[in-house]
Amino acid sequence: MNGNDGRGGDPQIDSTILNSFIDLHRTQLELSNIPEHYWPNIYRKLHNEIFDVGEYFQIVELQDDEDKTTGRELRVKDEHTILNKDDPYMIFIIDHAYTYRLDQIQKELHQLPQLVDRLCHMMFIDIDEEHEKKIEKIIEEMWKLNHTYTLTTAGTMAEDREPYWYILDEVGSSISHDDYPCARMAPFYSMLDGTMYTLLWLVENVSSEDRISVDYAYGITDNEIRRAKLVPWTKGSLTDIDIQQTEPSEQYFNTARENELLPMSNMCEIDLSSLNRPVNVFTDLELVRNHLFDQRFCITDTKENADILFIRTHFKTYNELFFTSQFVNQYPFENVITIKDLLAIVCRRLSPGIDRTTLKSYPEWLPTTYNLTYELSKFISYYQQREQKNLDNHWIIKPWNLARSIDTHVTKNLNQIVRLAESGPKVVCKYIEKPLLFYRDGVGNVKFDIRYIVLLHTIQPLKLFVYEKFWLRFANKPYSLDNFDDYEKHFTVMNYRHATTLKKITCDEFIPLFEQQNPNQLWRNIETDIFKMIHQIFLCAASQPPPRGFDHCNRSRAIYAVDLMLDNIENDGQNRYIQPKLCEVNFMPDIERACIYYPTFINDIFQLLFLNDYTNQHVIDISHF
């Protein structure tokens, strides 16, 4: 690696090679707002491995009255009278000390003791502490130094969209915040060597001994949002900000909606049960093709000949149903319940508001939920007020629109929650710290969740059903309120990650075990509360016109999965009661287990939704719960 900046003796850059480099990296260069006069030297320094930041800057340690190091700054070296932002050489390559994914950090740090000591030095953690203790403190403190990026390409799977987090080297980690900075930084993926670096460049002229600073809340001008974003470094109190939530504008709902062509209001009713032939079904789901054996239905490979479109792909042309006389297994604006931030907004219509004394939110079955994009300051205020009252402050952070617990994290670290918002749109929900547990033979008391299949027949009037059989998912390890990166302890979706130890139990087997383990509880009473909750979710979703709620379409039918947990709540200090808690609602859920356990499952659904057979013994009408 060369420490010279290449001003002297460096051959002229071949314009063809330079232009090729710029074309390959143009999107990054422009999105990061890197001035064009720096572009040639980005190539020059990357190509020649010129890491010359030490030629111009030095790390200065800050000490308190007792000579204890309390911080570090990056400053201009004494010998440089002035460094000019217009100088094309004033852009620098910063290396990354550590790049990782959050679910792997504990495991990796246990295997890398030298890295642990390096990070301890950067974070002012005593390196003489026990190894385990050092790792705990690193994970607690690293959010002041963390940065993030996500690499995506065409066809990228959801798992690969999980963000990477990284900590800059000692030089980069010494660059401090300033509301009026002299520099900027941005991650930069070099296609020359397939490595992610960070670029540092001047936006103001600096002189000898000047502190090099960047704006940690770059691009944010709203004062309240800036206060919130900077909390990890300022430790500021936001308790002056109102914690009450208000429903956002219609425009907000529209931004979350794909461009659907809505159904015509004069679309006539069609009764498929009156046809004098089998009802033709077009589907892209192999499970439906293989398990729909009711002779009143017939699978067709031609979409134009179908009476029913039963598809997983997003349907957008509802207006065409007027001309085709077809049914579809989707509802316009159903995203108000399938996208997590909209779901919380919709559910709060039932009983909005937070009790300012107890800080309890309503409805009780909805975990307290804040949107980390537009409600971050409200959330921080709520978090800090809970802290003042010594209330539990464990939270689960979820992306708006990813399932299977992808990029989902549990923490009580406020700095982590604030910074996680940088890696993509997320909601933060109160973590159920004392869930009802299930004793699993050979394992112990584990978390579990419950999935009900919900059948939406019509919106006006609301005709809503649940399949009588429900599904259970269990954690693989005993529950305790620690080790939050241990997926098998805190999460229950094991089909995709830890299928070898997947606990399989039917609801018929579960109910007597549940009542045996909870002697004072009858499952039928718990289920009644669950059905009330599900009914209220859809009632709220149907209570407002589009785009705030479902749009009525008499050619729409739909299947959803409602996932929930049971909270073991203390009532008066002595008595406890079980409260269903909503986790999420999914469109077209995975129905493989349903088809395996219950051979008539697909047929039951089709008979109810498309032949209006409300007498089916396997479905329960919850339209009036």
Q: Residue 1 — very low, low, confident or very high, per pLDDT cuts 50/70/90?
A: very low
Burial 385-398 (b: 16+ CB within 10 A, else e): bbeeeeeebebbbb
pLDDT at site 322? 85
Q: Residue 407 — very low, low, confident or very high, per pLDDT cuts 50/70/90?
A: confident
What domains are there in the chain, each with its CATH number? 15-221 (2.170.270.10), 222-245+368-431 (3.30.1490), 254-328 (no CATH), 334-365+432-607+616-621 (3.30.470.20)
Residue whose token pair is 């009036």 = 624
Of 477, 389, 479, 388, residue with least CA distance to 431: 479
Asked whether residue 210 carries a pLDDT value surpassing 80, the answer given is yes
pLDDT at site 500? 56
Greater pLDDT, 158 or 17: 17
Distance, in Å, from the CA atom of 361 to the CA atom of 353, rounded to the nearest integer, reads: 6
pLDDT at site 548? 95
pLDDT at site 262? 79
Report the sign of the C-alpha dihedral through residues 285, 287, 288, 289, in that order.
Answer: positive
Of 168, 212, 169, residue with least CA distance to 57: 212
- Whether the upstream peptide bond of residue 547 has omega within 30° of 0, thus cis, is yes
DSSP string, 573-618: SS-EEEEEEEEEEEES---HHHHHH-TTHHHHHHHHHHH--TT-TT
pLDDT at site 204? 98
Alpha helices (runs of H) in 317-392, residue ranges in sequence order: 321-324, 335-338, 340-347, 376-388
**Which residue type does 264 have?**
M
Distance, in Å, from the CA atom of 427 to the CA atom of 209, rounded to the nearest integer, reads: 42
Of 457, 469, 477, residue with least CA distance to 554: 457
pLDDT at site 183? 98
Greater pLDDT, 65 or 165: 165
pLDDT at site 396? 98
pLDDT at site 494? 72
Q: Is 530 helix (H, G, I), strand (E, B) or coil?
A: helix
pLDDT at site 498? 54
Distance, in Å, from the CA atom of 360 to the CA atom of 381, rounded to the nearest integer, reads: 14
Of 257, 350, 367, 268, residue with least CA distance to 544: 350
DSSP classification of residue 104: G
Return mean pLDDT, the chain. 92
Distance, in Å, from the CA atom of 471 to the CA atom of 468, rounded to the nearest integer, reads: 10
Q: Is 335 helix (H, G, I), strand (E, B) or coil?
A: helix
Residue whose token pair is 């149903």 = 321
Query: Looking only at Cα atoms, what is the longest distance across the chain?
Result: 93
Of 436, 434, 432, 433, residue with least CA distance to 518: 436
Q: Could you tell me the pTM of the whole model?
A: 0.93
pLDDT in tens, 287-315: 999 999 999 999 999 999 999 999 999 99
Q: Residue 28 — very low, low, confident or very high, per pLDDT cuts 50/70/90?
A: very high
pLDDT at site 404? 64
Residue 165 tokens read as 């987090």
Distance, in Å, from the CA atom of 293 to the CA atom of 604, rounded to the nearest integer, reads: 11
Residue 512 tokens read as 């007597």
pLDDT in tens, 303-353: 999 999 999 999 988 988 888 889 999 999 999 999 999 999 999 999 878
pLDDT at site 155? 57
Q: Is 439 helix (H, G, I), strand (E, B) or coil?
A: strand
The fraction of the chain above a pLDDT of 90, given in percent, is 81
Give the mean model confidence (pLDDT) for residues 467-489: 94
pLDDT in tens, 118-162: 999 999 999 999 999 999 999 999 999 999 998 876 555 555 568
Give the CA angle between residues 79, 80, 85 to the nearest 5°.
170
Q: Say how many residues make up the chain.
A: 625
Asked whether residue 499 carries a pLDDT value surpassing 90, the answer given is no
